[in-house]
Structure 1
Amino acid sequence: MTTTSPEAITSPAAGLTPAAASGPAPATAPEATIADARERIDVLDDRIIGLIQERMAVSAVVQRTRIASGGRRVHLSREMEILGRYRDALGKPGTPLAMTLLELCRGRI
């Protein structure tokens, strides 16, 4: 059985100092925190994209149904309601976000 001396474990060559080896675990490095947060953002972005695609499909159903019943494809008062909801929830940047979303959802039918 081979044993390693404490000096070998805490030597500068091993990358540890006696204080680091015996002290509390260091806080998570900023790089690790950033990497973890970016992974979470990627997961959230995937979910957001999926929800937008689902919204586009539902919107297409509404548009087809409205046209089939003799109505217009776009209902401006409904769009204004959506713009207001995004603005109220997200502030001024919510308006262009909602505009982009509405543009995506108008699509082709």
Structure 2
Amino acid sequence: MSTTNISTGTEAAMRERIDALDARLIALVRDRMTLSESSGGRRVNLAREMEILGHYSTELGAPGRDLALTLLRLCRGH
């Protein structure tokens, strides 16, 4: 039983929306991986990676940096 005041229908709709967003995120990550691979993504460009880490960190804080690190790893094919 939920401890919030959200109705079961609303909660189900929210979960469906979250699931849809997750599916979109996964598709976007796969697109990023494909693009990175097609452009020689296994090469490490430290300056570019630091730029990406900084952007994610600025927008999302420390967890954003962790997310960027994961994305960079995925796109290197590791």
Q: TM-score range by the shorter chain?
A: 0.7 to 0.9
**How many percent identity over aligned positions?**
55
* TM-score between the two structures when normalised by the length of structure 1: 0.62
Task: Quote the Cα distance in structure 2 between the aligned partners of 1:57 and 1:92.
Answer: 26
Superposition deviation, residue 61 in structure 1: 1.6
Tell me the residue number matched to 2:3: none
RMSD: 1.6
* Displacement of 1:58: 0.5
2:19 is aligned with 1:42: yes
How many pairs align? 73
Instruction: Indicate if the aligned counterparts of 1:63 and 1:74 stay in contact, CA closer than 8 A.
Output: no
Q: Report the counterpart of residue 33 of structure 2 in structure 1.
A: 56
Q: What is the CA distance between 1:30 and its match in structure 2?
A: 1.4
Answer with 1 or 2: which has the greater Rg. Answer: 1
Shift, 1:92, TM fit: 1.4
Any idea what SS the aligned residue of 1:73 has? coil
Partner of 1:105: 75
Q: CA deviation at 1:86?
A: 0.4
Q: Deviations over 1:47-76 (max 9, x none)?
A: 100000000001012216xxxxxxx81101
Deviations 1:7-63 (A, max 9, x none): xxxxxxxxxxxxxxxxxxxxxx61111100000001111110000000000101221
**Structure 2 unaligned residues grouped into runs of 5+:** 1-5
Pick aligned residue for 1:86 from 37, 53, 56: 56
Partner deviation per Cα, 1:82-103 (whole Å, 9 max, x = no partner): 0001001111110101000100
The alignment's TM-score, normalised by the length of structure 2, stands at 0.86
Higher RCO (C-alpha 8 Å, min separation 6): 2
